[in-house]
A and B are shown apart, each in its own frame.
Chain A
């Protein structure tokens, strides 16, 4: 793995010595490993003699529970009186409540007909007739499922959170796009924000803002702003040099250059940023229901507590629909940028927009007159009953006693005792310094010394925080689930890359699994696999699979057709083509798939704390439930470090190449 990663051999420098050193220079990965081994040979005996092996030594931990406990107490006793809260957080909180309320009231005033027509009209203007139809039908379905009001609540929350994320992201992105120094400082910050599992954010905001919408919106903004900032910076920095030169030579001022050239040139990236921000905000809006955000997420969460999969699904489907509509519309809008306008002149430009506005106003007015603001109760379809029946049937027939393979319960118990337990005991039995060394070796051979340093420091921070053991437990779950995800994902992807039909068939299924809130999976997996780490791993696999399948299929498909043709003409069998041409050429995509699998699996394994996966996820839940900042925040920080480490260790080489070029 490591050596194959090495850059192609460079010609030896003129007059260079031939010998082992030159050979090493040609294989930087081997050189790095050798250097690391040398350092280890010197340092390890000292470290081992001083602190011993096994789990992280007590002497190197810092107990944060006392100071964090004090912080909690201080916040609780000063929240109603201290100027920091009265003049700063209080106003933020009020502003959020007011804006969400404003949007919500507008949505309610438009009525279901008005909102549906408005959504369809906007989709039509920016993305065409097909998406207008999709949007209209989706909103009607939300109403049919009896979820109109929660959908509007989620939508109101989303509108405010996305607007705030976009503004914040634009500002950060502008700064990073225009100044190299800001760009350098900001990049690791954004990197970090993106690998953080959302679950870890919730506790600090709850403490300051209390439960409810303000905290939820702010947590969402923190989670959703980075992609906007990153893509804005990317777009601004990527502006065509020739165009900028021309604009400057015309005597444009800095602001004119920005407004008339740079930003318009970056439109595609800006829209992609918006798209990403919306998707992340939507996934967070559900998780934020744990802290009382209301809306659809709350319905899913409440259904969970009465073990009602059907009701959870009824609230989950509108979330999927919202995600599909918003994703497709912004994506299509991005594709249409720069394309020639089509259709009759009457429907173009501002005329089209005013027509859309007029249609919305007319329908909303008609709705008001007919007293049809809230979706009629008798016009709903109850899907909860049939879904629960289906689930019960599945559980009855799959839980035990399936011939040959055994039931899902046996499967789970074999997975736990055969894979998870040995993996966990193996990881905890490894001397702590050897874990650091392994992390360093992995991160360094695949990245730069910086990535290695970040990964090792993150891992060391976990030890210092005093949560080494639960972190190793979580790590073992992540590794096991990632392995399963990759095996299944690569298998399916190879098939999908071969057959267009299979890919088309898979697409809607992948869409649903990717956008369905993770909470919806949790109860079915418990019903199938019992309580413990196995169901959490199963949920994680389901959640991470779509991304892996997508990226891998695309990578395999993208292999240069000439190379494939060449292999075929040489008489390679399909298996040989795959092994010797496609996989090596698609390597960057495969690595990206591994990276995504790791990050996504970690996010769900953490939420698995709700179904008995224990370890760090459980501690975050415990912290949230008991208002115990010390436990929750330390576990949250450890999750962040774990995520950072895993990301760095699996970071594909693109970054290094970018730096080198």
Chain B
């Protein structure tokens, strides 16, 4: 018994010593690629994909061009927006191609830690708002002004909204002030979170099929508009003073945002052709929607959709390639 205990202690201490010597070097948490990245010697780019289809369209086209035209291997990582910033600063991903505005993160990572740099405009302008289906707005034109919304609260009641009208929101990761807006504008509505964009889209499609009225948080550009035409409800006008308020006090519409690209600082400097290409990547809403719709309505894979768009629009993407 005694002998085995001393042996155990010897074994443990030698193991500890081994660990200590092996663990002497510092491990850099900022330099970690995915284990599924290509073997050494292959140039790899890792892109972050967000959950909405527009972001998938950007990424698919960039992926295809990086592969075919520039000879890179491309890895995709699916994440929510805020974790994606975190991953970008750590170098787990090299670029975010479509960001809808995250002032806190911009301040922390770009201004203070300098681990992320701006990659310029994507070329697409984003706008968030409240939308009602066109078939309903045509019958009730005054519904498009927020002041009249209370009149329609009864029609928008659902089992989930507890006696009030239902304002449907989507994924918790999206930028939203809707709870504050409903409260500050004193509306007879309840915000019901669908929990994910997929759930929200499915529900909107269901409503549309039956021509039922609904009121939903939604955004442009979005392919679903082609399938279910929607009209925006006018909220109190957006002003800079209003936007500067505490999030709980906001009582005006959402801004119109030119969507931004962001790159990992290290990658931006040493990323060679890939980073030059991603900085130049710039297309229009029409282009993006064309790809998005192929993905979402026609159920093509993002790769297939990107290939078709690339075949049709060489004039657009040729300008993104680095010279020479």
- Taking beta carbons and an 8 Å cutoff, which residues of A are in contact with B? 76-77, 79-80, 83, 85-91, 93-94, 96-98, 100-101, 104-105, 153, 156, 206, 210-214, 253-255, 289, 291-292, 294, 298, 301-302, 304-308, 310-311, 384-385, 388, 395, 399-400, 409, 412-413, 416-417, 421, 522-523, 526-527, 530-535, 608-614, 617-618, 621-622, 624-627
Contact = CB atoms under 8 A, between A and B. Distances in A.
Interface string B93-117: 0000000000000001000010000
18 contacts: A90-B28, A156-B35, A156-B36, A253-B3, A302-B49, A305-B53, A305-B196, A388-B299, A522-B198, A610-B196, A612-B160, A612-B193, A614-B160, A614-B192, A624-B80, A625-B80, A626-B82, A626-B173
A66 B22 CA distance: 38
List the 10 closest pairs (A to B, CB-CB), nearest first.
A90-B27, A625-B173, A416-B159, A101-B35, A622-B172, A86-B26, A100-B35, A625-B80, A305-B51, A627-B82
Q: What secondary structure prevails in chain A residues at the interface with B?
A: helix
B171 A609 contact: no
B90 A610 contact: no
A611 B32 CA distance: 33
Given A90-B28, A618-B195, A306 B83 contact: no
Interface stretch (B202-210, B279-287, B306-314): B202-210
Nearest to A209: B29
Contacts of A531: 160, 168, 192, 194-195, 199-200, 202-203
B109 to A, nearest CB: 9
Contact of A212 (B34, B53, B201, B202): B34
B78 A298 contact: yes
A612 B195 contact: yes
A205 to B, nearest CB: 12
A642 B184 CA distance: 34
A525 to B, nearest CB: 9
Interface in B37-90: 39, 49, 51-53, 56, 77-84, 86-87, 90
Given A305-B51, A400-B210, A609 B35 contact: no
Nearest to B24: A87
A608 B192 CA distance: 14
A79 B299 contact: no
B108 A76 contact: yes
B196 A530 contact: no
A421 B79 contact: no
B28 A289 contact: no
A609 B195 contact: yes
Nearest to A80: B30
Nearest to B112: A77
B83 A211 contact: yes
A210 B202 contact: no
Given A385-B299, A532-B160, A618-B172, A210 B26 contact: no
Nearest to A624: B80
Interface centre among A86, A210, A610 (most CB of B within 10 A): A210
Contacts of A400: 210
B132 interface: no
A521 B23 CA distance: 44
A78 to B, nearest CB: 10
Contact of B32 (A77, A94, A308, A409): A94
A212 B92 contact: yes
A19 B49 CA distance: 74
Given A306-B295, A307-B296, A614-B192, 11 more contacts: A85-B27, A88-B23, A94-B32, A156-B36, A294-B36, A307-B201, A400-B210, A531-B202, A532-B192, A535-B199, A625-B80
A625 B77 contact: no
B29 A79 contact: yes
B34 to A, nearest CB: 6
B198 A626 contact: no
A627 B195 contact: no
Contact of A621 (B53, B195, B198, B201): B195
Contacts of B84: 211
B104 to A, nearest CB: 10
B172 A384 contact: no
B232 interface: no
Given A80-B29, A89-B29, A624-B83, A612 B36 contact: no
B197 interface: yes
B4 interface: yes
Contacts of A289: 78
Contact of A213 (B35, B80, B193, B196): B35
A497 B53 CA distance: 48
B320 to A, nearest CB: 25
B1 interface: yes
Contacts of B296: 306-307
Most chain A CB within a 10 A radius of its CB, from B81, B83, B199: B199
B256 interface: no
Interface string B142-186: 000000000000000011101000001001110000000000000
